[in-house]
A and B are shown apart, each in its own frame.
Chain A
């Protein structure tokens, strides 16, 4: 559904656009002595305000590199092509010295490991105040006062005292709350959350998911939620894209994707999970491994592991096309 809207709206103006984030034909290439590697390959999607897009896939599928490209953080050797816009403003052409205006203010990110995302030698209140001081032009005093409010917003008890704590004095869950407070301090249009609960225990994970949903309702930002955990994504996302070897292989609403997965990779991923409500003695498996992303790969990147693959799959690259309204699949064997 959303992809249709993307196509039918050429160059929406910044204020009128209901889309907080639009990504069109995003690719990331790395070249080395071994040749060119395309780790993100022609990825397109959009997220409306107040909506959550789940991005799932296994390690090396390009989900984190996509996020880094959105923030202009792809390592220097990498070459980013394609169009990215935040609330209608294109980011592709902006100069390097303009990035700080965007990053942290319009697009913010929450990382997997809260301990490494925070400065261990700086009080958490100061870390949040720094964001507000730089981006909102608040004085340090005002920024410190706002920082306490932000800590209160993310549910940290006695925020005025806690603002003086250092990261090591907090538990993992509290640290992730601080990282979220920092990311949301400037009320960004888009929040990228890259495996935000992976390092946390299940009971703390549930608290953080609850918090993110509440803040999204209050602030109305678009969220791109990246995770390898299908169950977490099924609980938090409105729409989901499944990535494999740098490409989007399936896109649908969360309800549709998890009740009616069409791509053999998505089907395989869901089937391999042990399920508490339906125990099987032997779990289905996806045979083989993710292919090497060098130039030699032809046809569908999943063909080597796919039970349905035939000569067509090994020769021709499948395109992402609509199978039913709002459900896109890149597979030769899935027809409308």
Chain B
């Protein structure tokens, strides 16, 4: 820690179960409230509208879960990471549970931009006959404007299809898993759920994804 007056705690948490359906803003609000319930000595911005100094990692779409989501919290004094984690866990609901906390350098890049490469795991309820066909482009509508994204710009490597072990994630209807890595660009990103919705099996049928989960975030 270069600046002892600066305690920047990076917390890892999961977004799972029904809470996958929360939006990024709803998650942000819920985490802020958990921090307050935990009684941590969080820092407050100075200005016209004082608010907690907290920053969130790259947003997940509504419906997509995560096992290694991040937020950075500025504290006004040192609290042992394990104690801070225990307090946060006691103040959190199971499906939005923190799993790790560590201090990071105050110069470290923000969690929202530090890890542009995300690995996703989609659990499929039907085995794609004849493999997965990935489209070359995907058309999305943003702010009423159509935009065509070249999948190759965002997709890193191949989609890996594997048969699911019995009772995958406690759900017997899951028969296969699809693992893929997407990179977000300063100009935009391709949502994992949108990519999947545009993929087909060999016969041209859409894939049936039971859940989509971000399982890794890398620099």
Physical interaction between A and B: no
Please give the residue numbers on chain A whose beta carbons come within 8 Å of chain B beta carbons, in ascending order: none
